[in-house]
Structure 1
Amino acid sequence: MLHRRRLLNLLMGGAAMMAMPACANAPERSIRPALKPAPPVEGIVARSALGGELAFAVIDMQSGNLLEGQGANTALPPASVAKAMTALYALEALGAGYQFRTRLVATGPVSDGVLRGDLVLAGGGDPTLDTDMLAAMAAELVRGGVRQVTGKFLVWGGALPFVEAIADDQSVQAGYNPSVSGMNLNYNRVHFEWQRAGSDYSVSMDARSNRHRPAVSMAQMQVANRSSPLYTYRRTAVQDQWSVARSALGNSGSRWLPVRHPELYAGEVFRGLAQVQGLALPAPEITRNAPAGQDLVTHRSEPLQAMLRDMLRFSTNLSAEAIGMTASAARQGRPASLGASAAQMSDWARMRFGMSSARMVDHSGLGADSRVSMTDLANMFRLSGQDGALRAILREHPFRDASGNLRPRTDMDVRAKTGTLYFVSALGGYLRAPGGRDLAFAICSADLARRARVAGGQVDRPEGTAAWSQQARLMKQELLLRWAQAHS
Structure 2
Amino acid sequence: MLRRFAVLCALLLPMTAMASGFTELARLTERGFLVGAEARLLDSHEVLGAIEPDRQLSPASVSKAYVAAAALDRWGPQHRFTTRLVSDAELEDGVLRGDLLLDGGGDPALTTEELWRLAQRLHQRGVREVDGRLVVSQWRYGPVACITTDRCQAQTRVANAYSALLSSAGVNFGSWCVSVAPGAAAGSPASITSCDSQVAIVEIDNRVETRPPNSGTELNAERITRDGKDVMVVRGQISLNAVPREVYRASSDPARQTARTLKAMLEQSGIRVGESYAVSIEPPPAGARTLAAVDGKPLQELLLRTMNYSNNFMADVLALNLVETPRADLEQGAAAIEHFVAGIPDHGPLSLLSGSGLTPENRLSASGANALLASMFHRPALFPSFVASFQSPGNGVMRFIRRGSPTFQHHVMLKTGTLNQPVAVRAVSGYFRTRSGRWGVFSVMVNGTANTPWLNWAQVLDPLAEDLTRMIDAH
Q: TM-score normalized by structure 1?
A: 0.77
Which residue in 2 is equivalent to 1:418?
Answer: 416
Which residue in 1 is equivalent to 2:339?
Answer: 347
Deviates more, 1:179-188 or 1:233-242: 233-242
CA contact (8 A) 2:141 2:167 kept: yes
1:62 to 1:42, Cα distance in 2 relative to 1, 3 A: closer
Q: Does 1:303 align with 2:301?
A: no
Please, which runs of 5 or more residues in structure 2 have no aligned partner?
A: 1-18, 209-219, 240-244
Q: How many residues align?
A: 422
Letter in 2 for 1:386: H
Q: Does 1:369 align with 2:369?
A: no
CA contact (8 A) 1:239 1:261 kept: no
Report the Cα distance in structure 1 between the residues aligned to 2:415 and 2:401, rounded to whole angstroms: 21
Report the Cα distance in structure 1 between the residues aligned to 2:294 and 2:31, rounded to whole angstroms: 48
Report the Cα distance in structure 2 between the residues aligned to 1:243 and 1:450, rounded to whole angstroms: 38
Which residue in 1 is equivalent to 2:3?
Answer: none
1:450 to 1:424, Cα distance in 2 relative to 1, 3 A: farther
Structure 1 residue 193, shift from structure 2 partner:
4.9
Deviates more, 1:307-316 or 1:143-152: 307-316
1:238 to 1:353, Cα distance in 2 relative to 1, 3 A: farther
| Equivalence map 1:222-371=2 (5 Å) | 234-235=224-225, 238-241=228-231, 243=233, 249-251=236-238, 254-281=246-273, 282-292=275-285, 293-329=288-324, 333-334=325-326, 336-371=328-363
1:445 to 1:200, Cα distance in 2 relative to 1, 3 A: farther
CA contact (8 A) 2:82 2:296 kept: yes
Which residue in 2 is equivalent to 1:215?
Answer: 200
1:39 to 1:355, Cα distance in 2 relative to 1, 3 A: closer
CA contact (8 A) 1:78 1:370 kept: yes
Structure 1 residue 412, shift from structure 2 partner:
6.0
Letter in 1 for 2:167: S
Residue 77 of structure 1: which of 47, 55, 58 is its match?
Answer: 58
Which residue in 2 is equivalent to 1:98?
Answer: 79
Structure 1 residue 353, shift from structure 2 partner:
4.1
Which residue in 1 is equivalent to 2:447?
Answer: 446
Which residue in 2 is equivalent to 1:20?
Answer: none
Letter in 2 for 1:191: C
Which residue in 2 is equivalent to 1:459?
Answer: none
| Equivalence map 1:374-389=2 (5 Å) | 374-388=366-380, 389=382
Letter in 1 for 2:141: L
| Equivalence map 1:118-133=2 (5 Å) | 118-133=99-114
Which residue in 2 is equivalent to 1:437?
Answer: 438
Report the Cα distance in structure 1 between the residues aligned to 2:346 and 2:143, rounded to whole angstroms: 31
Report the Cα distance in structure 2 between the residues aligned to 1:429 and 1:160, rounded to whole angstroms: 32
Which residue in 2 is equivalent to 1:25?
Answer: none
Query: Which SS does the other structure have where 1:69 is aligned?
Result: strand
Deviates more, 1:341-350 or 1:101-110: 341-350
Report the Cα distance in structure 2 between the residues aligned to 1:288 and 1:221, rounded to whole angstroms: 31
CA contact (8 A) 2:64 2:357 kept: yes
CA contact (8 A) 2:37 2:53 kept: yes
Identity %: 23
CA contact (8 A) 1:165 1:177 kept: no
1:387 to 1:126, Cα distance in 2 relative to 1, 3 A: same
Residue 173 of structure 1: which of 140, 149, 159 is its match?
Answer: 159
Report the Cα distance in structure 2 between the residues aligned to 1:78 and 1:242, rounded to whole angstroms: 33
Which residue in 2 is equivalent to 1:188?
Answer: 174
Letter in 2 for 1:186: N
Report the Cα distance in structure 2 between the residues aligned to 1:306 and 1:232, rounded to whole angstroms: 30
1:178 to 1:165, Cα distance in 2 relative to 1, 3 A: farther
1:414 to 1:111, Cα distance in 2 relative to 1, 3 A: same
Structure 1 residue 138, shift from structure 2 partner:
0.7
CA contact (8 A) 1:121 1:155 kept: yes
Report the Cα distance in structure 1 between the residues aligned to 2:28 and 2:339, rounded to whole angstroms: 38
The structure that has the greater radius of gyration is: 1
- State the Cα RMSD in Å: 3.3
1:226-256 deviation per Cα after TM superposition (whole angstroms, max 9, x unaligned): xxxx776654684224556x5xx24466521
Which residue in 1 is equivalent to 2:216?
Answer: none
Query: Which SS does the other structure have where 1:81 is aligned?
Result: helix
Deviates more, 1:413-422 or 1:344-353: 344-353
Letter in 2 for 1:256: Y
CA contact (8 A) 2:60 2:426 kept: yes
